[in-house]
Structure 1
Amino acid sequence: MKFEIAFDKDVYNKQMDLLFDLAWKRKKDYYKNTQYLGVVLMIIGVLLIFNRPNVFGAGYFFLFFGLSNLLPFVYYFFKIKNEYKKLGDAKIKEIEILNDSMNSSFELSDDSLIITIQEKSKIINWNEFVTFVIKDESLILITKDYMPYILDEIEVGKENFQKIISFVEKKIEIV
């Protein structure tokens, strides 16, 4: 099966945001929830220190564990914000490059996946893929070296997308 794919800026942005969410969403949500616990523990610790400073250091105990929950949130907040900024810069550069390339194709053969952009072609054998994910009407193929290849339902149509999914399910064995 071979599909000619025209570049669409909106589809590309959606795909990159989807990949970012797959990489960072769970960690972001986890640390977002632990910040609430950290703040509550710190408030309890401060109240215990001011009300009863000599109760076996319980206020300091709560303050310490509150900070230990809050500091990873602050670290990952800035780390994820920095990664998202890098992704935004990379998307802008990539969109400039891909706007010029009108010829791209996505070919599924029995032996490999062949991706062609302009005159450059990349052949990836099916045994190089570790897994695939279907999320938000997008098929994400992930190789052993964690390179994602993504195809959206809008790019190939609903019927062809279902054919591609059934073909990929046969070719990629998830262990």
Structure 2
Amino acid sequence: MKFEIPFEEQIYKEQMTLNFNTTWSKNLKKNNKRLIWAIPFILLGGLIIYGENYLGFLFIAIGIHYLINFYDYYSYHKKSKAKFFELIEMEIIGQKNANENCIWEFNEDHFRYKDYKYEAKIKWEAFKSNRIIDKNIFLDLNVGNNSSYVLGEIEIGTENFIKVTEFVKNKIGQKTSAQQRV
């Protein structure tokens, strides 16, 4: 199967936002728990100190520790998000200037992707998994931190999307089964 897909800025932004949010969601939930723990520890410590027991300082210290960790991670997330979306904007400008279609090709022995910057021919063994989120298929590579190719149903139509997802599930599923036998 081969698809030539014109660049659509809105679709690209939605896919990259979905990719970013999916990647960060688990750690953000953990980080929010730090805040949920920090507030009661600080309040409890304050109440204990008010009752003239200095053990409350320990609770306040633990609460402040959670609060500092929450803030550090929150700041890191904000910086990463700004940097990520700055790169997205640069990519949008490059795609618009090039005015070329992206090529997505699904063959028996490899996946091929081509855009204005580069061309990649990747064997199916290089993929660790695939996910379908909000009518987008993510082809997750076995390298890096959540390196994925994202293709949406809106780009290729419902019928072709079903064909692609079944094909990819079979290819990546075969790889997983072969690895489990070894």
1:88 aligns with 2:85: yes
Deviations 1:9-57 (A, max 9, x none): 111111111111122111112211320221111011022113213xxx4
Do the aligned residues in 1 keep the contact of 2:102 with 2:116 (CA within 8 Å)? Answer: yes
SS of 2:45's equivalent in the other structure is helix
Do the aligned residues in 2 keep the contact of 1:34 with 1:69 (CA within 8 Å)? Answer: yes
TM-score (norm 1): 0.92
The alpha carbon displacement at 1:172 in A equals: 0.3
> How many residues get paired?
172
- Report the equivalent of 2:172: 172
- Report the equivalent of 1:65: 62
Do the aligned residues in 2 keep the contact of 1:133 with 1:140 (CA within 8 Å)? Answer: yes
SS of 2:85's equivalent in the other structure is helix
AA paired with 1:115?
Y
Deviations 1:84-127 (A, max 9, x none): 10012101100000112322210100010111214842100001
AA paired with 1:60?
F
Q: Distance in 1 between matches of 2:14 and 2:20?
A: 10
- Report the equivalent of 1:148: 148
Q: Distance in 1 between matches of 2:73 and 2:158?
A: 38
Q: Distance in 1 between matches of 2:63 and 2:32?
A: 14
Give the RMSD, CA atoms, in angstroms: 1.5
Which has the larger displacement, 30-39 or 13-22?
30-39
Q: Distance in 2 between matches of 1:62 and 1:32?
A: 19
Deviations 1:124-153 (A, max 9, x none): 000110111111111111111132111011
- Report the equivalent of 1:41: 41
SS of 1:161's equivalent in the other structure is helix
- Report the equivalent of 1:15: 15
AA paired with 1:68?
H
**Structure 1: unaligned runs, 5 residues or longer:** none
- Report the equivalent of 2:30: 30
- Report the equivalent of 1:112: 110
Do the aligned residues in 1 keep the contact of 2:95 with 2:116 (CA within 8 Å)? Answer: no
SS of 2:13's equivalent in the other structure is helix
Q: Distance in 1 between matches of 2:82 and 2:138?
A: 22
Q: For residues 90 and 77 of structure 1, do their structure 2 counterparts lie closer, same or farther at Cα, with a shift above 3 Å needed?
A: same
Overall identity of the aligned pairs, in %:
28
Q: Distance in 2 between matches of 1:41 and 1:17?
A: 35
AA paired with 2:62?
F
Q: Distance in 1 between matches of 2:85 and 2:119?
A: 26
